[in-house]
Structure 1
Amino acid sequence: MSPDTQATEPPAHPGDPAPPMSAGPSRDALELIAEGVTDLAGFGIAAISVVRDDGKLELIAIAGDDEAAQTVRGRRTPVASLMKELEKADDWGLLKFIPHERLDLGTGEEAWGWVPDPTSLVPSDAADAWHPLDMLVAPLYDDTGKLRGTLAMDLPLDGRRPGAQQREVLQTYAEQAGRAVVTALEREALGEQVRLAEAARAIVRAASAQLSMDRILADSQQALVEGFEAQGMWLQTFDEDGQGTRAIYSSDGTKVELPAELVTVAETSARRAWSLQRVEIVSRDRPFGPTITAEQGDGILGFLASIGITSILFTPLGAGPECLGNLVLTRAAGQRDWTDHEAAAALDIGHDLGRAILNARTFEREHHLVEELQALDTYKSQLIATVSHELKNPLTAITGHLEMLEGAPDLSGTVQASLRAMDRGARRLAKVIDDLLLLSKVGDPHYPIITVPVDVRRTLEEVLDLSSVAAARKGLTFVTEAPDTPIVASGDPDELHRVLANLISNAVKYTADGRTVTLTLMHTDDGVVFRCADQGIGISEGDRAKLFQEFFRSTNPQAVAEPGTGLGLTIVKRIVGRHGGRIEVSSELGRGSTFTVTVPAA
């Protein structure tokens, strides 16, 4: 009689992943041993089973009866049931014999064992006659004394219980079967480790290269399903506050609709499993782990059965102390149970996917912040432009009426002084508004620059002509170093004019009376270069770091004493940037400053 259950899993369905040892050298070696028992040891049927991680014996090889082989191959027997029966056995060395009168087959779900057709063997009246319910089995142990499998025999050809000589032959086959089973299991474990390692590498490569959850799942799902020989999968991620479900993705990219109570169970169990650093296997044949209660497990199994799933490998996903979600791999009826190697590999992958999810979440958060900053910057530019336009119209009216009042002949000296003060304030305010409008224009990425050839040498001459009065008032000397021929840049004429005007105006403003401002213009391999070097108050290192920020005014009291909006250098920086150029500054407090602008040549 073969010690293999008849009340567990049905045969695999066509197209299902093949169970371990279903083909190849390991299966062939076990089949040969079983055939040797039937051909040379005088038994009608022989079966070899191996112990699985879930504590069950799985029948791998059977010889002597094709019908029996089709019926019982792949069936699983609880090891505990076998060991209970072996306590009643007669000890024949490696062989254990249990007469039928001592054997308890059980009933219902506890029923186990394969019983041959009663008509195939009618026991004789001899004292050593073989009964159809007699059991002869050899437990197979490894060198550490761990049970690794069994060799069972049934239907002796002579109808008798084996004698001493036949037992010696069976003993030899039992020894061979023990070595073969250990080798087969080791080879299976090694192959499984290689398969899972390849899957893990593929998942890590795919997931680490992506910065969105959709792409992480799309690139890793095939490796997960194939590497774990699963029927399917889904992946659940948590909100950033650790509560609720952000999304549940299935292996085909669609969202999985889980009952609300199962979503809550999954979240709670995932966080508990992550803290314990373990995975859970949920199936009818296994007790529920510490992260899932019996009631929760029954609810999960009920839902799984409704969608054709018999077992799941539930893996927490996380990074550091934080649980970020869970991964569920599924198997259907006819597929093998999950192994310890798969559970360990799944936990490692849970770490890898957790890091990938954390990276994706960080990227999404940063991307969202960038979008918010861009929207805020756009709003700020629109606000500046709107306010400046709204201020410009009434200010124009104010300055116009001031000009009319200043020409009136009957105004007293006090009134005229007040009008002049009002005019200066209005002109200063107009300068601020003009700067704000220009700042909004050159900072708007949707406002394109239309480039034309610009003779920068002529532009420099125009700016010097406009600045000559202010320079003469302070007794400053301009030294110009430029070729006599035109130096042509590619850009907007008005904007390049503003760059030179702002830099030269600053040089005049912050240079002490009687000193020199040197202006250099030249062609280089990088483009057109303009350099403005003054002998003014200079800029401290701390101020240089903020020099081009909007509305920044120097911390130097001498610089603060000069009127200004704090927008001049910001405008210069933006104009140069939108021309594809660059601006550099070198300065030392009390010893002057040098600004160098480079823009593309025409």
Structure 2
Amino acid sequence: MTERAWPGADASTPGADVLTLIAEGVTQVVGFQVAAVGLVRGDEMETVAVAGEESVRAALLGSRTPLVSLLAELELAEHWGPLLFVPHEALPAEMQVWGWVPDTAPVEGPDAWHPMDALCAPLHGRDGELLGMLSMDVPDDGRRPGAEAQRVLAAYADQAARAALLALEREQLAEQVRLASAAREIVRDAPAHLGVDEVMGASADALMQGFRAVGAWMQIFDDDGHGTGRIVAADETEVSLPGRLVRVAERAARAAWAQQRVDVVSREHPFASTLTERDVTEIVGFLDAIRVGSLLFVPIGAGPEALGNLVLTRPPGAPAWSETEREAALDIGHDLGRVVLNARSFEREHRLVEELQALDVYKGRLIATVSHELKNPLAAIVGHIEILQDEETGPVVASSVAAIDRGARRLARVADDLLLLAKVGDPDHPVVPRPVDLGDVVDDVLELQGHSLARKGIEVVVEKPEKPVVAMAELEEIERLVSNLVGNAEKYTPAGGRVTLCLAVEDGEALLECTDTGLGISPADQEQLFQEFFRSTNPVAQAQPGTGLGLSIVHRIVARHGGRTEVESQLGRGSTFRVRLPVAG
């Protein structure tokens, strides 16, 4: 015996039960105390089945012997038909002996079995390749087997070779199914936000290992279902298909998806029967050019729609594609269909966002341009109105001049609002923050608007802590923000009402609250409150003049400062607007 036991070896393999029965037959029928079957694992021989005492099984099962050492020892063997016998006297003293040696004393006589003797039968496959080894040790009678025993052992060796071939095929199939299933799980579990390229890159290794392929690529049809789309390779290399073959592949993918089948393409199987002789010639020539022996052609789709195809390639001389692989590949075609649909959705959303952003930029520039163009003529109009107001005129003319003055100044305010709206919405005009004392800003705004509030009989209450509330912001924009909030509260609060301005620092944020006892805002209107040009649906509120830009400007100023805008309101009970800004220091 020449196996060496490695601690913790795992000898489980498909078909090991059959090999164990053969080993037990050798011990029971032929008369050996130990028999073992090993299978080739790369450059080693692994013992996968053992018959004998439990201590011997524990020592041998799962053990591995380097093939080079094993074959060197077998070079010294005597050939007994399919059996190889290595007598102990043939072993050079310097040769390293591998593995388990029975602790038995030889009997007397020239045919006595020595503990260092080795008897085995190499197990060969259909093409003569070495698959494994049937070994036996410690004959019951203590003597080397005679002709009859050798004949029976040869029969067992033949059975062991067939069982070893079956075990290896089952093992390969089990591994094949495992790897293909693993590849499918990787594709199926791909995050929904990943595109086709990312999923192909993440699953490429698993796909090629799982299907024993040397290459992989996907052809994705155009979004509109027409045209050849693009090709995504597994290893990021460029795959260039002749134009006609791209169209052939698309036609074949649609037919394969409709029939829910996977095709094997090779010199012997050049696609489906729908191809022309010219198609077949070009396909075979293409396979030869890229040194591919065969490929698995997998349709990709979702529902009734074919979305593309997946191609997995094998070199010449590689094993044929199994039915199990075809079934697993078709499932992957369904999973990749989901990926393609998700990718299309995200690409559409991305394009839509870009279009909306471009439209928003265009809108901002248009507003800024129109507003700027209005400023100059409005300034001229207001200037000439002031000249007319200084002249003595009749009451009719004076009334008209006053009306023109009101209209012109209102237009000027609208133009100013539009210019500010364009500025605070322009990503190319970033905030340059510095410490701003919100208490000082509130005092300045109330000084400017206090007369208007007092004239309307509105009480103003300011609540602020002893320590200044300082935000990181642009002073000019914060002044406009506070002015718009106070002006909005004044506009919708009836005479005799109250406006309360409260300042504080909460959770590392500078807080400004503006509360009024005015009309209040309905829940439906609150959802659109900060949109440009939105006016309340409340008829009483609509009666007040305004452009619907004030609160939109407030919201944009706060957002571009990295803050938050909140609103609480009830119809008939007033509103509270809460602004949170980054606190300074």
- Whether 1:326 aligns to 2:369 is no
Task: Provide the rounded CA distance (Å) in 2 between the counterparts of 1:309 and 1:320.
Answer: 32
Shift of 1:574: 0.9
Question: Which secondary structure state, in structure 2, belongs to the residue aligned with residue 512 of structure 1?
Answer: coil
Show the counterpart of 2:82. Answer: 39
Question: Tell me, which stretches of 5 or more residues in structure 2 are unaligned?
Answer: 1-39, 50-70, 72-77, 85-121, 132-149
> Contact between 1:585 and 1:593, CA under 8 Å: does it hold in 2?
yes
1:456 Cα shift? 1.7
Query: CA-to-partner distance for each residue in 1:1-22, whole Å, 9 max, x for gaps?
Result: xxxxxxxxxxxxxxxxxxx998
How far apart are 1:503 and its partner, in Å? 1.1
TM, length-normalised to structure 1: 0.70
Q: Corresponding residue for 2:166?
A: 182
Would you say the 8 A contact 1:37–1:170 is kept in 2?
Answer: no
**Alpha-carbon distance in 1 for matches of 2:472, 2:123:** 89
- Which whole-Å CA distance do the structure 2 matches of 1:199 and 1:435 have between them? 59
- For CA contacts below 8 A with separation 6 or more, give which structure has more relative contact order: 1
Query: What SS does the aligned partner of 1:553 have?
Result: coil
- Looking at structure 1, the residues matched to 240 and 158 of structure 2 have their Cα atoms a distance apart, in angstroms, of 52
Identity of aligned residues (%): 50
Aligned counterpart for 2:435 among listed residues 429, 453, 476: 453
Match of 1:369 among 352, 357, 367: 352
Pair 1:539-2:582 in alignment:
no
Evaluate the alpha carbon distance shift between residue 467 and residue 28 of structure 1 in structure 2; reply closer, same or farther with a 3 A threshold. closer
Name which of 331, 335, 342 aligns with 2:325.
Answer: 342
- What do the CA deviations read for 1:325-384 (whole angstroms, capped 9, x no partner)? 111122232222222222222223223333233323322222221111111111111111
Distance, in Å, in 2 between the alignment partners of 1:174 and 1:485 is 97
Question: Offset at 1:176?
Answer: 4.7
2:479 is matched with: 497
Q: Where in structure 2 are the equivalents of 1:365-514 lying within 5 Å?
A: 365-409=348-392, 411-483=393-465, 486-514=468-496
Q: Is the contact between residue 203 and residue 223 of structure 1 (CA under 8 Å) also seen in structure 2?
A: no
Q: Is the 8 A contact 1:27 1:61 kept in 2?
A: no
Q: How many aligned residue pairs are there?
A: 465
1:352 aligns with 2:335: yes
Checking the alignment, whether the CA contact within 8 Å between 1:22 and 1:60 is kept in structure 2 is no
CA contact (8 A) 2:221 2:308 kept: yes
Distance 1:179 1:334, change over 3 A: closer
C-alpha deviation, 1:491, in angstroms: 1.3
- Aligned letter for 1:377? D
CA RMSD, 1 decimal: 3.4
* TM-score, scaled relative to structure 2: 0.72
The reply to whether residue 195 of structure 1 matches residue 195 of structure 2 is no
Asked if 2 retains the 8 angstrom alpha-carbon contact of 1:576 and 1:599, the reply is yes
Residues of 2 paired with 1:489 and 1:500: CA distance?
Answer: 13
Q: Distance in 2 between matches of 1:380 and 1:519?
A: 34
Instruction: Give per-residue Cα distances to partners, 1:460-519, cap 9 Å, x unaligned.
Output: 122112222222222211122224553322211121111111111111111111222222
How big is the shift at 1:232?
2.1
Q: Which amino acid aligns with 2:516?
A: D
Counterpart of 1:518 in 2: which secondary structure? strand
2:192, 2:342 within 8 Å by CA — same for their partners in 1?
Answer: no
Shift of the alpha carbon at 1:443? 1.1
CA distance in 2, matches of 1:349, 1:283: 21
In 1, the alpha carbon distance for the partners of 2:357 and 2:442 equals 35
Task: Give the letter for the 2:449 counterpart.
Answer: S
Name the aligned partner's letter for residue 404 of structure 2. M
CA distance in 2: counterparts of 1:186 and 1:547, whole angstroms: 69
* Gap runs ≥5 in structure 1: 1-19, 50-58, 64-68, 70-165
Task: Give the aligned partner of residue 248 of structure 1.
Answer: 231
Structure 2: distance between partners of 1:322 and 1:496: 56
Q: Which residue of 2 aligns with 1:588?
A: 570
Matches for 1:52-451 after TM superposition, within 5 Å: 59-61=126-128, 175-202=159-186, 208=191, 211-286=194-269, 288-289=271-272, 296-409=279-392, 411-451=393-433
- The whole-number CA distance in structure 2 between the counterparts of 1:540 and 1:593 is 10
Residue aligned with 1:61, SS: coil
Change (3 A) 1:463 1:344: same
Measure how far apart 1:48 and its partner are: 6.9
Distance 1:256 1:523, change over 3 A: closer
- Counterpart-to-counterpart distance in 1, 2:81 and 2:278: 48
Measured in 2, the distance between the counterparts of 1:577 and 1:227 equals 50
Q: Which amino acid aligns with 1:535?
A: T
SS in 1 for 2:329: helix
Mapped to 1, the partners of 2:174 and 2:363 lie a distance apart of 63
Alpha-carbon distance between aligned partners in 2 of 1:378 and 1:40, rounded to the nearest angstrom: 87
Contact 2:123 2:157 in 1 (8 A): no
Query: 1:238: Cα distance to partner?
Result: 0.6
Are the counterparts in 2 of residues 551 and 565 from structure 1 also a CA contact under 8 Å? yes
* 1:197 positional shift: 3.2
How far did residue 315 of structure 1 move? 0.8
